[in-house]
Amino acid sequence: MRLLLTLLLITLSGFAAAEEEKAELPPVDPAYNAEHPMVLVNQGSSIIAMNLPAYNSPNNVQVVYKIGNPDVAFLGFVRNAELITVKPLAFNIQHLMRGEEITITADIYEGDYQQGGSLIYSKKELVLDKQLYARELKELSESSQWQDYDMITLNGTERIYIHKIQKAPSYNHLIFVDLVNACMQKFRTSKRVPPENELTYKFINCGTLKPLYYNADDFKK
């Protein structure tokens, strides 16, 4: 009986500590409440969302999230499209930096909505339910021909490699790899902003590849 009471007290103390820790989180900074454009990509039966970062606040973060329970039609749409962009209603991206699950409302476009993309879904709810990666674009390294990548583990041998954006000029790049061999996460390229096909070749011996996203235009200066 005494043992049961002790275990009960330990359990209740753990719950209390967890609630206290949750309550101690500072409020999000309202300056990060904005329209945060995103791109959607498909991998297997999953849809992955990534924001389109910039050097200036409030978009100076890199976030990659898994979309929760996409319906079959939406999954097929993302799988078959070359580029899907998301124009959400304003939300505070610091919630995603903390790893919270949130639901956003957004217009979904085939192509780049800032360059004449076609509206496919209007005011669609997207559940961002699992953080895969988060990084603030602060204290960036100098622009260099040496490129550094972070690795996101999905499951088993499946990985996403994401470029750690440097000071301008730089680029945003994500590539999926089903690993067969180990991958270098730091390597030298022919120029500070290499073309996407050169970057794909750098990963060619790692396993089965699927380029997910590449953009250099937003990081020229």
pLDDT one-digit tens code per residue, 28-64: 999 999 999 999 999 888 999 999 999 999 999 999 9
- Sorting pLDDT into bands at 50, 70 and 90, what band is 108? very high
pLDDT of residue 117 exceeding 80: yes
Q: Are residues 70 and 122 in the same domain?
A: yes
pLDDT tens column, 165-210:
999 999 999 999 999 999 999 999 999 999 999 999 999 999 999 9
Q: How far apart are CA 127 and CA 105, in angstroms?
A: 9
Strands 91-92 and 33-34: antiparallel
Q: Are residues 157 and 98 in the same domain?
A: no
| Structure tokens belonging to residue 138 | 């602060």
Q: Are residues 116 and 147 in the same domain?
A: no
Q: Are residues 164 and 102 in the same domain?
A: no
Q: How far apart are CA 108 and CA 120, in angstroms?
A: 6
Q: Which domain holds residue 36?
A: 29-138
Kindly state whether residue 190 falls inside one of the protein's structural domains.
Answer: yes
Q: Are residues 133 and 80 in the same domain?
A: yes
Q: Give the percent of the chain with pLDDT over 90.
A: 84
Number of domains in the chain: 2
Q: Are residues 121 and 157 in the same domain?
A: no
| Final residue belonging to a domain, choices 107, 138, 169 | 138
Kindly state whether residue 87 falls inside one of the protein's structural domains.
Answer: yes
Phi, psi of 11 (to 5 degrees): -65, -45
In terms of Cα–Cα distance, which of 192, 61, 215, 34 is closest to 138? Answer: 61
Kindly state whether residue 147 falls inside one of the protein's structural domains.
Answer: yes
In terms of Cα–Cα distance, which of 114, 100, 90, 103 is closest to 32? Answer: 90
| Final residue belonging to a domain, choices 103, 138, 173 | 138
Q: Are residues 122 and 69 in the same domain?
A: yes
| Model pTM score | 0.86
Q: Are residues 144 and 128 in the same domain?
A: no
Q: Which long-range contacts (CB under 8 A, 24 or more apart) does 154-158 make?
A: 154/43, 154/46, 157/207, 158/43, 158/44
Kindly state whether residue 10 falls inside one of the protein's structural domains.
Answer: no
Q: How far apart are CA 132 and CA 159, in angstroms?
A: 11
| Final residue belonging to a domain, choices 138, 168, 183 | 138
- Sorting pLDDT into bands at 50, 70 and 90, what band is 70? confident
Q: Are residues 172 and 110 in the same domain?
A: no
Q: Are residues 102 and 187 in the same domain?
A: no
- Sorting pLDDT into bands at 50, 70 and 90, what band is 24? confident
Q: Are residues 105 and 169 in the same domain?
A: no
Q: Are residues 83 and 151 in the same domain?
A: no
